[in-house]
Chain A
C-alpha cells in the first residue's frame, strides 16, 4: 500500500515542520509550506492525497486557499485546523470540509492521523 501524502500549510514554520516530522514517524509522507502561494505552487509540481490547512493564513484565508487548491487538484481532500474557536469559522469550514475535519489547535496527533486516514479512505490514490 502506498503511503498517504500530506501537505501541511500554516504560517508557523516551527509548527508545520514538527508536525510533518511526527506524521512521517507514523508512516505518512508529509511536506509543509508557510504561505498560500507556496501551497498552490507546490501543488502544481507534486501530488498529495490530503491538505491540512490553517484557517487563517497571511494574505489569504484557508477557505480561499482550499478553493484555489481544489481547482489545481480536484481529488485533493482537506482538513482545517485553527486556533480560533469562533462559531463563524466553524460553520464556514464545516460547510467546506465537513464538521469532522475541523480541528482545534493544539492538535492531537492521533486524532489528526485518524482524520487523515478517514478522509483518504485509508490509502493513497
Chain B
C-alpha cells in the first residue's frame, strides 16, 4: 500500500500541476478582459476630454463586463480553493454530484481546448460516499482524458451517477471509438490500476455501449 501511495503521489503532483496551470490560464483570461474593459473606459474618457461625446450606455456595458469578470474570477478561485483542499484528508465524505461538478469545473479549459463538452447528469438526491477525494478526482480526470481520444462525432462525453448494490457507479458514455480507433495510450494503464486499488474501485469498459463504468464503494476507509 505504501508503494502504491508513493506512485500515486508522484503522478498526483503532475496532475495537480496540470489542473493548476489550466486554472491559471482561466484566471489570466478573466484578468485580460478586465484589463481591456478598464483600458477602453480610459480610452473613452480621454476621447471625451478631447470633445467626443461619451456614450453612457457603452460605459454601463463595460462596467457590467468588469463586474461579470470579477464574479467569474471569484468562482474560479473558489473552485481552485476547493480543489486544493482535496488533499487535506486522506479519506472524506463527499457528495458525488457536487464533487463531479467541481471536477468538470476545474478541468473545463482542458476539455474545451480539445473541443470536447462534458455533460454531467446530476442526481436529484445527494450521493454521499466516503473515499479518497484527491485520488478519485485524479482517476475521473484520467477517464475523461482517455475519453477525449475516444469520443464520437458529437464530441460530447456524458456522465451519469447511479447507486447500485455494489456501490456507486459513474457511467461515461459517448465514447464511440473505444476500440475502433487506436487510443493514444493503453487504458487502464499502470497509474489507473494504482488509483483503482487505492480507491477500492472497479472499471468496466463496454465497447458495445461505448461506455466506461467506474464503480466505487459507498464507504471506503482503511
Q: A-side interface residues toward B, CB under 8 Å?
A: 11-12, 14-15, 18-19, 21-22, 25, 56-60, 83-84, 86, 105-107, 109
Contact = CB atoms under 8 A, between A and B. Distances in A.
A84 B26 CA distance: 9
Nearest to A56: B113
Interface of B: 21, 24-29, 31-37, 39-40, 43, 47, 62, 65, 69, 112-115
Contacts of A86: 21
Given A58-B113, A58-B115, A18 B28 contact: no
Given A21-B40, A58-B112, A58-B113, A107 B21 contact: no
A106 B35 contact: yes
Contacts, number: 67
Given A22-B40, A22-B43, A58-B112, A15 B32 contact: yes
B115 A12 contact: no
Given A22-B43, A59-B115, A83 B36 contact: no
A1 B202 CA distance: 68
B24 A109 contact: no
A22 B36 contact: yes
Nearest to A19: B36
Give chain B's interface secondary structure class.
helix
Contacts of B47: 25
Contact of A105 (B29, B37, B43): B29
Contacts of A15: 29, 32-33, 36
17 contacts: A12-B29, A18-B39, A18-B40, A18-B62, A25-B47, A56-B25, A58-B112, A58-B113, A58-B115, A59-B114, A83-B26, A84-B24, A84-B25, A105-B31, A106-B28, A106-B36, A107-B35
B160 to A, nearest CB: 25
Contacts of B28: 83-84, 105-106
A106 B31 contact: yes
B67 to A, nearest CB: 12
A106 B32 contact: yes
Given A25-B47, A56-B113, A59-B115, A109 B39 contact: yes
